[in-house]
Structure 1
Amino acid sequence: MTATIPFGRWLQQQRKKLDLTQAELAQQAGCALGTLRNIETGSARPSKQLAARLAMVLGGEQEQVAAIVAFARGTGPAPAVLPAANARHGAPTHLTGMIGRERELAELRGMLLRPDVRLVTLTGPGGTGKTRVAVESIALLESSFPGGVWFVDLAPVSDPALVLAAIAQAVALPRGAGPLLAQLAEALRGDAALLLLDNFEQVVDGGADVAALLGACPRLKALTTSRIALGLMGEHELPIPPLGLPDRARLPPLPQLTQYEAIRLFRARARAARPSFEITAENAAAVAEICYQLDGLPLAIELAAARIKLFPPQALLAKLDRRLAFLTGGRDRPSRQQTIRSTIEWSYRLLAPDERRMFQKIGVFSGGATLDMIAEVCAEPQAQVDAIVFALVSHSLLYVLPPRSDSPEINPRIGMLETIREFALERLDAGDESAPTRRRHARAYAAMVRQGQPQLLGPEQAAWLRRLNIEHDNIRVALAWLLRDDAAQALAMAGELADFWKVRSLFEEGRRWLDAALEASVALPLDRTRIHALHGALMMAVDQADVPRATDLAEQHVAAARALGDPRYLAESLAEMAQLAYTVGRLDRAEELFREALADFRALGNRERVANMLLNIGRIVGVHRCDAAVATPLLSESLAIYEQIGYPLGVAMASLCLASTAIHTGDIAQVQRLGRQALGLAWELGNQVQIAFNLTTQAVVSIHAGDPAQAARFYAAAEAIFSAVAMPLSPSEQATHDRWRAEVVAALDGRQAAAAWAEGGSAPLAQIVAEALGHSQQRTARG
């Protein structure tokens, strides 16, 4: 019978079952009385929106609304069981325990218990666990709301006009006459009560009805979860960020690593899939990187951890280059959360067309961008960019990056989670704006690098190192595009970045980019752009003691310099051959070549290179041959030139060599003073190699001060840096390092040495540097 009953007759039966007149049903559903009469007689069919409102008013369960709409529109059968007045809706239960979020739960509890807070909205991108936090909080707060705690799932509701109907359904409001708002206000006006309104983002315009209901019920509060703030007066927003992650560049020891929320969640969900799973020293780095690549998003981490049944962490990590396609599952979840792609798609559908277009273009940025750079790359007016970026931040698809301590930038920097960025790029690449947008992005950052390159050898060095470091992810994206799109521009950009990579001790990365650019541009005519890139590649190969590659590049570099008749690059070739001789332990040959290069650079009037040659000769004579009388004047002249031209890294290097030379004279106070000066500059510049060498020098100070444990910490931190940057010590440097290291080991018993080395190798580098600079001692002295 139900299979053939017309919708109009079915609607009439339901109305009468609830003892509603046609006028009352029409008023609550928001339609004209004549329209309802026509529907019941079968002479008219309701729109999808009206059918949904009728279903809600009649008490249809959330999951039945779609079926009732299909029945009303003639595309589905009548419901097998006619819906009746709904019972109280409770919050969903979870089969797994909650991991972390102690801070957010405490903050939320405090907000909801404040008398002046009536409306709290949990915001954040899809997959951060807003609903889970909200549900956990009401379990803790139920006793504080004797009037009831009601869970209202708004995910199936697409019409803002149905928000009150959904609330009425959740609280099992008896059907009565009069406006629904007045009926709800009457029902909820008693004891203190709380509404948890979940998934508000697609009906955000219904917030006004919630505000009206709160205004009519002085003891009622509302907690909403939404990817968009409601924008109501009196609303208190609490962002739910991704889970906490450790320092990616310097992972803590295993016991501390497994205390981070994201790592804890991965381990718990992986064990659910494979009970024998453990995070070990062998797979810990892969697990941490998985959590990083998934932005600390709980949903993404849970979907990935479930795959541990098939893929060990290292293999799982390799699959994440296409995370949107890979991360699926969770059949017990709502459909919008069964894949990462559908979770993001849910937010994307809520955007206006111009917001979608801008969202796609912003996907080309990696690591964030300033608003003016977004306007340049997206080729849109600044005012329009500012407005749309604000909207996208409100939708939790973009976020404002926290200010960086190493940047004086006062304008906001806008970021996008990598998981969301992959979705944005998919959409961008599916249209016709991908190539123009990527080309503008590449050229904008190539121009930035071109502007900054000359500044890396002068007084603005520190500022430009910070700027390029902040934009390094965008620079990588730009280089990758140019290698495919414009080989000449890629070669120029890579050559201009060589000094940046060298100063930042990024030898491996710099070599990869330079080698790729040289290979991609091999058919181009020889010019100064190519010889500049060859010089950069040569520097990197020498620094890593890659003798075969350095020799080959040196031959190419000399040939190119001679072909162009450029004496400066001939002198540079000589200097790099000297550096290579030093690197392999041929100190006499190195000194001879450095002195030849010194004469050439003096003739050219290149003071920076003169200072560098003096420094290298002084290092050989003073640090390795222990002849302070000869070395000190050379190093002092080098330091004076660097100070005059305002080159911070040069000042740091010359100061370090003077400090190391003073070790042989026994002037430990001078070692400490000059060494700390050098270390402070190296830390400011982010030069890892110089930081490491300075820590070994300060370790000698610690040995003489009778603190071998501190010396061991400094040595361990230095050795971790040398390993991370893949820069081998020269034979002479290694011999000096081993000699001083042996003194430390001899002063400690085995257990003390092991403990100190473990602490120095795992402690945050900032902590070790502060200790070496004496800051920690100053804090202790102040009590």
Structure 2
Amino acid sequence: MSESRLSPGNLPFQIASFVGRRHEKLQVRSALREHRLVTIVGPGGVGKTRLAVEAAGQEARSYAGGCWFADLGSHPAHQAVVARVATALGVTRSSGEWSAAELAARLDDRRTLLVIDNCEHVLEEVAAFVRDMLRDTADVDVLATSRQALGVAGEQLVHLDGLTYPEEGRVESLAELAGLEGVDLFIQRGRLIVPELVLAHANAQAVADIVRRVEGLPLAIELAAARLRVLAPQQIAKRLEDQFRLLRSTRVTDDRHRTLRATIEWSYDLCSPLERLCWARLSVFPADFDLEAAESVASGGSFGPDDVLGLVGALIDKSVLRTLPGSGPSTRYRFTDPVRDFGRDKAAELDPDDMSGSRHLEYFSELAGVVPYVLFGPSQVEHTGRLRAELPNLGAALLRAVAEAEADAADTLACAIALVSFSSGALSDSRAALDTALRSEGSRSTARVRLLVVSAWLAINQGDLPLARQQITRCRVLAQLIGDRHGLVHALEYLGQCELLEDEVGAAARHCRDAVRLARDLGDDHALATSLVRQAQVFEALGETGKARAALGEAIAISDRVGEKWCRGYALWNLALLLEATGCPKEGMRRARAALDSKALFEDIVGVAQGLEAMAWCSAGLDEPSRAAVLLGAADAVWTSSGAVLPARLVPRREHCEARIIDALGRESYLALRGEGQELTPDDAVGWRQGADNTHRAMPQPAEARATTGTRPRAVADDSPLTAREREVALLVAEGRKNREIASLLVISPRTVETHVDRILTKLGFISRAQIGSWAAYLEDN
């Protein structure tokens, strides 16, 4: 028998630069220093091999016996794992095969790292080999890559997801885009083909769309960049609807990475028949979903609801499906877009009579159908959050309902989408959902009455009174025709609101009175509470403030009795405005804060705008003009982002408030402070209110006022209340850096930076990043 000696190491040389993964690389290196077996786990094409080689190379000095790379993916499955590792180590023998024990003995008692790549298709064999190797020698560490954990005792997992990519709907600056790993990879790989390629305003949107569409998957990004030989970024982005056709390469020698489809096919081949069927059925979900939905939609035929948990777990283990971090009270799951598209392609092939689409429609129609029964009660906050998480699923179910002429389901789904989207400030989404259902021929049902009610309500909030009138007329006719007296109450109250907004106060009084009477007769707490608020608005317009206050008090009492928050917040807002108008701004401020707190529970940014508006008016009434100016600016910003408008009847009062502030501060100072308020996001505004009831004492003052009074923000003192890390973050904020940049510089997550900034604002009594900058500048100067 002849044997050869070990060579010094064989990590593959990488031609292209390594992009991103700074945190993950440190995680792998740290794990190798503490554990003998580290496995990088993630889906195909996510960059596991490249990360392993990069981390191993940087740890090479710690391994006198060398770092040895064995690629199991490029070898036939029937070949013994030990033989493949021996070949990679450069150890051969003329006859017989190596055992793990013999191979361990050949490693010369020097610390050695084995990098074993692509373990998933021979998982049991690799696990047995690694277990024996680690048992027989103390000098060998193993770094493995796999789509599934090896399951060996002491294994340390490093989970790998896609590179960072732009968020949907978020407007990023060029600097922010360039700092995202996925964008950086596309540009760097693109320059290998088009050397003059740069990220510029002309191509930024297209590059962002490409990277977002493939969810930061490195393989997909590199395949997309390869298309720059013949297509501009804008053309690539447009053609990504067919990812499997576009994202392929003839230059990649590894068949598994030649096309995106081949990479996913490799994972598919590793799944059992039932896992494949579950994958195909779950692909009906357009976005993320929870276990309850999966059990209802995916089960049937070959497996039942009780089997879904195990199948979902198996798909997660194989890196086909992933869990979403921080998904709330129930874990949520999601496919990447390419994996979902692959599953949809396989659905008809695996199950020609697949009913998952119909089950998806049925499940989400039932979820939306409980809205009228839970959105006026103690569970409304929880259910609103649930519906918000399911908006993509509700939207997909709506389109299916319309396509299949399921009129009542379509109307029910559209109402749920409109209500939840409205609270999130997405009024255009609300209107789109309603219009989608309204374009189809609805049935004469309570579902269509509710749809018309919600459509009228939305039109009022958008300031479109002609449309509101049209929908109310249709609603009244249909409600009377089918005997839907509950729907008729809402038609009457919204008709009264339209008339009030058009200065038809007498007609408004009659219709709101009729709505309140009918709601009392029906014993409908929800309709009574909302109708009382409308009636209070009419009483105020008539100068009957005592009746207005009594009506609002009754509405609030009804909400308190049933444990309801949404309508209570709306009633409190109206009460705050009434109190401010009748010379009670201090009491009005207390009600405005309570209204804002109620609406914040639902993440209702229209309600937040209303609360900020009322607080601004009350601040002006309390002779706090600086605070009032910032609050008006904050309200402006939220009104604009929500798409809703301040009711026309309240505009003169807003103008009166502005005039009072300008008289007190001067126009220039007012505009400066209002501009500072306009920089606040809805979350900033709510967080500031919740964290500082006495914040008005720390409100920013115009520069001229500070110069004459000698005052400065409360928190600027010799003994800063900030921790060392918070001071570090504050100084970077003062430099004008965004959260993503700070996260990169400090090697922490953007969410952690966000938390630090929130704490800084609360501790210092500030409401904007600009104030942090001024504070930091003061410290540096002193």
Q: Which of the numbers 456, 459, 463 marks the counterpart of 2:382?
A: 463
* Aligned residue runs from structure 1 range 302-317, under 5 A: 302-304=222-224, 317=237
Q: Which amino acid aligns with 1:228?
A: Q
The CA distance in 1 between the partners of 2:690 and 2:626, in whole Å, is 16
Q: Which amino acid aligns with 1:491?
A: A
Once the two structures are TM-superposed, the CA of residue 728 in structure 1 deviates from its matched residue by 3.4
Q: Are 2:476 and 2:488, in contact at CA under 8 Å, matched by a contact in 1? A: yes
Q: What residue number does 1:356 align with?
A: 276
Structure 1 vs Structure 2: percent identity of aligned residues?
Answer: 28
Q: Which of the numbers 192, 216, 221 marks the counterpart of 2:136?
A: 216
TM-score, normalised with respect to structure 1: 0.78
Q: Are 1:543 and 1:583, in contact at CA under 8 Å, matched by a contact in 2? A: no
Once the two structures are TM-superposed, the CA of residue 708 in structure 1 deviates from its matched residue by 7.2
- Could you give the per-residue CA deviations for residues 62-115 of structure 1, whole angstroms, max 9, x where no partner exists? xxxxxxxxxxxxxxxxxxxxxxx999633240323412x22111111111112x
Q: What residue number does 2:251 align with?
A: 331
Q: 1:489 to 1:601 in 2, by over 3 A?
A: closer
Once the two structures are TM-superposed, the CA of residue 735 in structure 1 deviates from its matched residue by 4.7
The CA distance in 1 between the partners of 2:376 and 2:207, in whole Å, is 40
Q: Are 2:633 and 2:675, in contact at CA under 8 Å, matched by a contact in 1? A: yes
Q: Are 2:579 and 2:585, in contact at CA under 8 Å, matched by a contact in 1? A: yes
The CA distance in 1 between the partners of 2:542 and 2:236, in whole Å, is 52
* Aligned residue runs from structure 1 range 122-271, under 5 A: 122-159=40-77, 161-176=79-94, 179-181=97-99, 182-207=101-126, 208-245=128-165, 248=168, 251=171, 255-256=175-176, 258-269=178-189
The CA distance in 1 between the partners of 2:586 and 2:405, in whole Å, is 54
Q: Which of the numbers 672, 676, 683 marks the counterpart of 2:589?
A: 672
The CA distance in 2 between the partners of 1:253 and 1:718, in whole Å, is 25
Q: What residue number does 1:66 align with?
A: none
Q: What residue number does 2:325 align with?
A: 402
The CA distance in 2 between the partners of 1:632 and 1:203, in whole Å, is 74
The CA distance in 2 between the partners of 1:698 and 1:308, in whole Å, is 54
Q: Which amino acid aligns with 1:401?
A: L
The CA distance in 2 between the partners of 1:657 and 1:263, in whole Å, is 48
* Aligned residue runs from structure 1 range 740-751, under 5 A: 740=657, 747=665
Q: Which of the numbers 531, 535, 541 marks the counterpart of 2:449?
A: 531
Once the two structures are TM-superposed, the CA of residue 428 in structure 1 deviates from its matched residue by 0.8
Q: 1:279 to 1:588 in 2, by over 3 A?
A: farther
Once the two structures are TM-superposed, the CA of residue 120 in structure 1 deviates from its matched residue by 0.5
Q: What residue number does 2:399 align with?
A: 480
The alignment status of 1:275 with 2:200, answered yes or no, reads: no
Q: Which amino acid aligns with 1:511?
A: R
In structure 2, runs of 5+ residues without a counterpart are 693-758, 767-782
Q: Are 2:580 and 2:621, in contact at CA under 8 Å, matched by a contact in 1? A: no
Once the two structures are TM-superposed, the CA of residue 709 in structure 1 deviates from its matched residue by 7.4
Q: What residue number does 1:423 align with?
A: 342
In structure 1, runs of 5+ residues without a counterpart are 1-18, 25-58, 60-84
Q: What residue number does 1:654 align with?
A: 571
Once the two structures are TM-superposed, the CA of residue 510 in structure 1 deviates from its matched residue by 3.2
User: After alignment, is 141-150 or 286-295 more displaced?
Assistant: 286-295
The alignment status of 1:386 with 2:306, answered yes or no, reads: no
- Could you give the per-residue CA deviations for residues 415-473 of structure 1, whole angstroms, max 9, x where no partner exists? 32233111111111344446412111211222222234311122221121122222222
* Aligned residue runs from structure 1 range 703-714, under 5 A: 714=631
Once the two structures are TM-superposed, the CA of residue 150 in structure 1 deviates from its matched residue by 1.7
The alignment status of 1:773 with 2:694, answered yes or no, reads: no
Q: 1:300 to 1:106 in 2, by over 3 A?
A: same
The size of the alignment, in residue pairs, is: 690
Q: Are 1:490 and 1:517, in contact at CA under 8 Å, matched by a contact in 2? A: no
SS at match of 1:419: helix
The CA distance in 2 between the partners of 1:739 and 1:160, in whole Å, is 84
The CA distance in 1 between the partners of 2:29 and 2:178, in whole Å, is 27
Q: What residue number does 2:10 align with?
A: 89
- Could you give the per-residue CA deviations for residues 331-379 of structure 1, whole angstroms, max 9, x where no partner exists? 3473322332222112111112121111111111233333343233222
Q: What residue number does 1:343 align with?
A: 263
Once the two structures are TM-superposed, the CA of residue 398 in structure 1 deviates from its matched residue by 1.1
Q: Are 2:113 and 2:141, in contact at CA under 8 Å, matched by a contact in 1? A: yes
Q: Are 1:545 and 1:580, in contact at CA under 8 Å, matched by a contact in 2? A: no
Q: What residue number does 2:769 align with?
A: none
Q: 1:234 to 1:401 in 2, by over 3 A?
A: same
Once the two structures are TM-superposed, the CA of residue 501 in structure 1 deviates from its matched residue by 4.7
The CA distance in 2 between the partners of 1:476 and 1:324, in whole Å, is 25
Q: Which structure: larger Rg? A: 1
Q: What residue number does 2:37 align with?
A: 119
The alignment status of 1:296 with 2:219, answered yes or no, reads: no
Q: Are 1:508 and 1:725, in contact at CA under 8 Å, matched by a contact in 2? A: no
Q: What residue number does 1:9 align with?
A: none
SS at match of 2:355: helix
The CA distance in 1 between the partners of 2:605 and 2:58, in whole Å, is 48
The alignment status of 1:493 with 2:416, answered yes or no, reads: no
Q: What residue number does 2:470 align with?
A: 552
SS at match of 1:594: helix
Q: Are 1:189 and 1:220, in contact at CA under 8 Å, matched by a contact in 2? A: no
SS at match of 1:113: helix
Q: Are 2:556 and 2:572, in contact at CA under 8 Å, matched by a contact in 1? A: yes
SS at match of 1:457: coil
Q: Are 1:303 and 1:330, in contact at CA under 8 Å, matched by a contact in 2? A: no
The CA distance in 1 between the partners of 2:195 and 2:594, in whole Å, is 53
SS at match of 1:237: strand
- Could you give the per-residue CA deviations for residues 601-640 of structure 1, whole angstroms, max 9, x where no partner exists? 3444433323223323434665x89986564333223222
Q: Which of the numbers 677, 681, 685 marks the counterpart of 2:602?
A: 685
Q: What residue number does 2:719 align with?
A: none
Q: 1:309 to 1:161 in 2, by over 3 A?
A: closer
Once the two structures are TM-superposed, the CA of residue 239 in structure 1 deviates from its matched residue by 0.3
Once the two structures are TM-superposed, the CA of residue 161 in structure 1 deviates from its matched residue by 4.0
Q: Which amino acid aligns with 1:210?
A: V
Q: Which amino acid aligns with 2:268?
A: Y
Q: Are 2:46 and 2:218, in contact at CA under 8 Å, matched by a contact in 1? A: yes
User: After alignment, is 742-751 or 218-227 more displaced?
Assistant: 742-751
Q: Which amino acid aligns with 2:559?
A: Y
Q: Are 2:480 and 2:488, in contact at CA under 8 Å, matched by a contact in 1? A: yes
Once the two structures are TM-superposed, the CA of residue 685 in structure 1 deviates from its matched residue by 1.4
The CA distance in 2 between the partners of 1:229 and 1:650, in whole Å, is 50
Q: What residue number does 2:698 align with?
A: none
Q: Which amino acid aligns with 2:196?
A: P
The alignment status of 1:726 with 2:643, answered yes or no, reads: yes
The CA distance in 2 between the partners of 1:214 and 1:285, in whole Å, is 50
Once the two structures are TM-superposed, the CA of residue 124 in structure 1 deviates from its matched residue by 0.9
Q: 1:161 to 1:435 in 2, by over 3 A?
A: closer
The CA distance in 2 between the partners of 1:354 and 1:172, in whole Å, is 41
SS at match of 1:180: coil
The CA distance in 1 between the partners of 2:334 and 2:645, in whole Å, is 36
Q: Are 1:542 and 1:583, in contact at CA under 8 Å, matched by a contact in 2? A: no
Q: Are 1:692 and 1:721, in contact at CA under 8 Å, matched by a contact in 2? A: yes
Q: Which amino acid aligns with 2:487?
A: Y
SS at match of 2:143: strand
The CA distance in 2 between the partners of 1:314 and 1:141, in whole Å, is 41
The CA distance in 1 between the partners of 2:233 and 2:473, in whole Å, is 44
Q: 1:232 to 1:160 in 2, by over 3 A?
A: farther
Q: 1:96 to 1:185 in 2, by over 3 A?
A: same
Q: 1:89 to 1:463 in 2, by over 3 A?
A: same
Q: 1:533 to 1:257 in 2, by over 3 A?
A: same
Q: 1:490 to 1:308 in 2, by over 3 A?
A: farther
SS at match of 1:609: helix
CA RMSD of aligned residues (A): 3.7
